Chains A and B, each alone.
Chain A
Amino acid sequence: MRARGWRLAVFVFIVGFTLNLVGIVTHVVVSSLAKRWFATPLPGAFTTEWYAYAWREFQLGDVLTVTATVAASVTALALLLGFPAAYVLARRGFRAKNAVLLLYFLPLLIPQMTYGIPLATSLYRYRIGGTITGVILANLVPMLPLAVFVLLPFIEQISESLEWAARVHGAGRWQVFRRVVLPLALPGLLTAGLLVLVNTVANFELTFLLSGAGSQTLVVALYYAVFAAGMRPIYSVDAMAVIYMAIVLVILAAALRFVRPTQMVFRLGGK
């Protein structure tokens, strides 16, 4: 039957695509563990020396510190600024609401390369280009809206009558927030925080345009290593890639416990 043939074709495609993905990732991992590898199915000998080599040569200790600093700062700031905004957007209508929603949507819709260059120009003009501060501020531009849009449905799910009931029983506004809203919003905050975290770690374009020598995140350092491919053994570059991949996968695994993959697709990078 034609329908069955169609479904078979789709299934074959999915299997092919998945194998392709597995192949790409596995190749990187195997290469990072190879002593030497040229056009054979598997390398002749294995070693872990490239990891130590990569750690030294690419200064991964410093790079990881920068990455952690940037990721943690962006996540904290995105939640700090985004949670109140999401609360207001979920609870209240106001005249400028549509304009505000558009303002939040634009940094997610417009590719980072398009607004990143003018942003870099401005930040360099004010002498914060090339610094960790600059990287944090730049990454916050798309991450703040992301946090808001992820938090919105979670806050909408918190019934407003719970807050009213607390007020009726004499709770002040701060108490309502601390004892009613915040605990109920915790899953949303966790989800938003993890998504912002994984996005910031994996985010390339903005960090690339804004970082200097001492403010590169891991993915930018990886780019430069791949770009200058002839200067270092490819195995060490792949070792660095594996370290990057491990970090992203750990955060991703944590995030996937709270959110379904179809919900994650809100401009998760991809250029």
Chain B
Amino acid sequence: MKRRGVLLLILPSVVYLLVMFVYPFAYGVLLSLHRPKGPAGMSLANYIAFFADPWQLRTIAVTASIAVPNTILTVLLALSVAYAMRRGIWAERTITALLVLPIALGTVLIAEGINGFYGPKGWLNQLVQAIGIPDPPRLTHNYTGVMIALFVQHFPFCFLMLLGYISGIDPALEASARVLGARPWVVFRRVMWPLIAPGAAIALALVFVMNFGVFPSAVLVGQPAGDTRTIAIAAYQQAFEHYDMSMASAIAVIMGLCQLLGLAIVVGLRGRLTATGVATLGTGKR
């Protein structure tokens, strides 16, 4: 195929993404550097205003306090379960099909379901009271609710991704290590973990980025006016309640930078996690 043919086939989609993704993003960044009613020309006024306002600034801390523990918990659990299931498990197809459900159903439905099931009058509370615990803790419309919602949504995604990745590792490596006398924990630490670590790093990065941008869960199952007012909520309010698009863009940029920071930390850690003498083979298909 000649160069012209290549160009013609791929141009429409590339142009579309340049126009509808790159351009608005760049425009948003530029917009964030201008004040609508201030002096003309670029300034960091929006960003200064954000960092000077404790009510806005705390959204970073609030979002991080949700995203960081949740990410670590989700990835640790997904890793453990995926590792345990690496050689197949009873009813695997049913379980994996079931786990796709929260991913497909989406945030809003899960949020509504959690409000019902985990709510003060829901089945879980009824069960807890029935077995004798008189004053069950509040699980919805607060920080806990958001943590539950995020875990229910992201664990399946993380688990399926890691399962696919770990299954792609050549089982002969593990078998050889066992034959040579290594105990399971040693096999994991010296043989499997270095091969799994890149996948785990990707999982950490992806889940963190998804968690940090939390919005509908924070509103529907959390306390958007207080404990769970995340940075995405702040950006949304600026855009659609105050109609201050340049400030909203600034907050979106800050959110993006925080996500980038998280990514950078994971990439930095990854270098230290995978130091080992075993050759890397057998990467899984993602």
Chain A bound to chain B: yes
Q: At the interface with chain A, which of B47-55, B207-215, B273-281?
A: B207-215
* B9–A88 CB distance below 8 A: yes
Residue of A nearest to B215 (CB): A113
* A110 CB, min distance to chain B CBs, angstroms: 7
Q: Known A117-B236, A137-B20, A268-B104; judge A7-B210 contact (CB<8 A).
A: no
* B245–A121 CB distance below 8 A: yes
* B210–A271 CB distance below 8 A: yes
In the assembled complex, the Cα of A205 lies from the Cα of B255 at a distance in Å of: 15
Q: In B1-28, which residues have CB < 8 Å from any A CB?
A: 1, 3, 6, 8-10, 12-14, 16-18, 20-25, 27-28
In the assembled complex, the Cα of A148 lies from the Cα of B3 at a distance in Å of: 20
Q: Known A13-B77, A114-B256, A117-B248; judge A103-B122 contact (CB<8 A).
A: no
In the assembled complex, the Cα of A40 lies from the Cα of B130 at a distance in Å of: 11
Q: Indicate which residue in A3, A84, A107, A262 contacts B184 across the interface (CB closer than 8 Å).
A: A3
* B104 CB, min distance to chain A CBs, angstroms: 5
Q: In B99-141, which residues have CB < 8 Å from any A CB?
A: 99-117, 121-124, 126
For residue B84, CB closer than 8 A to chain A, the reply is: yes
For residue B216, CB closer than 8 A to chain A, the reply is: yes
In the assembled complex, the Cα of A123 lies from the Cα of B77 at a distance in Å of: 41
* A23–B17 CB distance below 8 A: no
In the assembled complex, the Cα of A3 lies from the Cα of B187 at a distance in Å of: 13
- For chain A, give the interface size range: 35 or more
Q: In A139-183, which residues have CB < 8 Å from any B CB?
A: 140-141, 144-145, 148
In the assembled complex, the Cα of A92 lies from the Cα of B1 at a distance in Å of: 8
Q: Indicate which residue in B8, B24, B154, B155 contacts A122 across the interface (CB closer than 8 Å).
A: B24
Which residues of B lie under 8 Å from residue A184 when comparing CB positions?
none
- For chain B, give the interface size range: 35 or more
For residue B157, CB closer than 8 A to chain A, the reply is: yes
For residue B200, CB closer than 8 A to chain A, the reply is: no
* B239–A144 CB distance below 8 A: no
For residue B71, CB closer than 8 A to chain A, the reply is: no
Q: Indicate which residue in A109, A226, A265, A269 contacts B209 across the interface (CB closer than 8 Å).
A: A109
Q: In B232-272, which residues have CB < 8 Å from any A CB?
A: 232, 235-236, 239, 245, 248-249, 251-252, 255-256, 259
Q: At the interface with chain A, which of B33-41, B90-98, B191-199?
A: B90-98
Which residues of B lie under 8 Å from residue A52 when comparing CB positions?
none
A-B contact count (CB 8 A): 257
Which residues of A lie under 8 Å from residue B16 when comparing CB positions?
81, 140, 144
* A7–B239 CB distance below 8 A: no
Q: Known A114-B252, A118-B24; judge A264-B77 contact (CB<8 A).
A: no
Q: Known A145-B17, A244-B109; judge A115-B96 contact (CB<8 A).
A: no
A-B contact pairs, 24 of them (CB 8 A): A2-B184, A10-B81, A24-B110, A31-B116, A81-B16, A84-B10, A88-B6, A103-B21, A109-B206, A113-B232, A115-B24, A115-B28, A117-B251, A118-B27, A122-B27, A122-B28, A148-B13, A202-B105, A209-B236, A223-B216, A238-B112, A262-B96, A269-B104, A270-B107
A residues apposed to B, CB below 8 Å: 2-3, 6-7, 10, 13-14, 17-18, 20-21, 23-25, 27-28, 31, 38-41, 81-82, 84-85, 87-89, 91-92, 94, 100, 103-104, 106-107, 109-115, 117-124, 137-138, 140-141, 144-145, 148, 198, 202-205, 208-209, 219, 222-223, 226-227, 234, 237-238, 241, 244-245, 248-249, 252, 256, 260-265, 268-271
Rank and list the top 5 A-B pairs by shortest CB-CB distance, nearest first: A118-B28, A111-B213, A24-B113, A84-B9, A262-B164
